[in-house]
Amino acid sequence: MSPDESGATAQSGPLQKGDAAPEFSLPATPDQWVKLSELQGPVVLIFYPADWSPVCGDELSMFQAALGLFAKHGAQLVGISVDSSWCHLAYKADRKLGFPLLADFHPKGAVAKSYGVFRDDDDTTERAIFVLDAQHNVAWSYVSPVGISPGVDGALRALEALS
């Protein structure tokens, strides 16, 4: 399935608490796709501007360090950027990340647009986090200044509030 079939439409601002999370299907590797509706339980979507950038590295490493805390809530972490799946493959191996990085690469940023976090001025995405409940409605969302890694505390608190 290509991202075109997700029927995603552009949002004017980041999705907020209570909004239904738009469906997507994106490649995690050149031959494996992840579909939101196939993920069980709560999901934490981490939109970040680019693989290899120093701030993104810090941000994803913090989520990796917190993987056990998120697992306690049965939550699945998913990173998303506009990099290609080949780029993600190299980056994920280098940083030893234990959660998928999805390629919102073609058409570029279509999923980010449907969540309202695409950046037209530089063709990347906002540094944004969406916590989805088990029914995949937005329980919490946060957009961080692009230059500042947000940390994992907000997402953790949002998950704790769900249970």
What are the catalytic residues?
A: 56
97 forms part of the interface with another protein (CB under 8 A)? yes
161 forms part of the interface with another protein (CB under 8 A)? no
44, 131, 139, 156: which one contacts another protein (CB under 8 A)?
156
Query: Who contacts 16 (Cβ-Cβ below 8 Å, separation ≥6)?
Result: 138, 141
124 forms part of the interface with another protein (CB under 8 A)? no
Phi then psi for residue 32, to 5 deg, are -125, 130
What span, in angstroms and rounded, lies between the C-alpha atoms of 160 and 49? 27
151 forms part of the interface with another protein (CB under 8 A)? yes
Query: Who contacts 124 (Cβ-Cβ below 8 Å, separation ≥6)?
Result: 49, 50, 81, 82, 109
* CA nearest neighbour of 75 among 63, 84, 86: 63
99 forms part of the interface with another protein (CB under 8 A)? no
Binding segment (CB under 8 A) for another protein, from list 37-45, 92-100, 105-113, 133-141 = 92-100
158 forms part of the interface with another protein (CB under 8 A)? no
> What string marks each residue from 36 to 65 as x (binds another protein by CB under 8 A) or -?
-------------------x-xxx-xx-xx
What span, in angstroms and rounded, lies between the C-alpha atoms of 71 and 125? 26
List, in sequence order, every beta strand (DSSP E) within 3-119. Answer: 25-29, 32-35, 43-47, 76-81, 101-103, 118-119
153 forms part of the interface with another protein (CB under 8 A)? yes
Q: Toward another protein, which CB reaches closer, 59 or 83?
A: 59
Residues near another protein, by CB under 8 A: 55, 57-59, 61-62, 64-66, 69, 95-98, 142, 148-154, 156-157
